[in-house]
Amino acid sequence: MAVAEAKNVHNAAVTDWTQVTDARLNEALEGLKNAMNTFQTAEQTGDLASQTSLDELKASLTNAQSLLDDIGTSTDGSDIALGSRWSTQEAKDAFQAAIYAAQAVLDNENATQNDIEAALKDLAAAQSTFQNACHDGTMISSGASEGDNNDSGSSDKKTGLAQTGDMLLYAPLSTGYPCCAFSNHRNCC
């Protein structure tokens, strides 16, 4: 309000300086001083969120959502490939709720510095909890299926290791062939 009044006085002075009285100019100046004092007090007490903190919260939210999106959902990890991470739906839901809460603070134009700092702290705690709830997948994929007759896999007959891409698999079979998971041992024995 004081800034708007000061602007009006300035505009009046620019267009017709004879309309500006000392009293009106002093009143606008006093209002502007009060507005500046209010702003500085709010800044010192944490009532105003700094742009740096807002940017930090925005980056933290982006990272948190990316982490959540990259984690698979499972009850025991048996349906998640080796090398991939998973968590339960409950853990993902709890982390998503924390992300939504932090986003609500970011979207609030009246959020204070204290609000932003609390949101950053809560989001970091939720992310740590979520990361601790994540596990490595346990599903082993042989890379070959029944009836697959290509030679894309290789094996070592002496060690019983089958190589498929970058993954080595050991699959001793009940037939006594300690080689690989290829059907009928066409590619290994």
Question: Is the pLDDT assigned to residue 7 strictly greater than 80?
Answer: no
* Burial tier of 107 (Cβ tally within 10 Å: 0-12, 13-18, 19+): exposed
- Specify the pLDDT at position 17: 60
Q: For 68-98, b where at least 16 C-beta lie within 10 A, e where not — what string?
A: beebbebeebeebeeebbbbbeebbebbeeb
Q: What residue ranges do the domains of the chain occupy?
A: 2-45, 51-136, 141-189
Question: Is the pLDDT assigned to residue 172 strictly greater than 90?
Answer: no
> Average model confidence (pLDDT) for the chain?
75
Q: Does domain 51-136 have CATH number 1.20.1270.90?
A: yes
Question: Is the pLDDT assigned to residue 63 strictly greater than 60?
Answer: yes
Q: Give 31's pLDDT tier (boundaries 50, 70, 90).
A: confident
Q: Give 134's pLDDT tier (boundaries 50, 70, 90).
A: very high
Question: Is the pLDDT assigned to residue 77 strictly greater than 90?
Answer: yes
Instruction: Find the range with the poorest average confidence among 24-33, 114-123, 135-144.
Output: 24-33
Cβ proximity of 182 and 144 under 8 Å: yes
Question: Is the pLDDT assigned to residue 152 strictly greater than 60?
Answer: no
Question: Is the pLDDT assigned to residue 37 strictly greater than 50?
Answer: yes
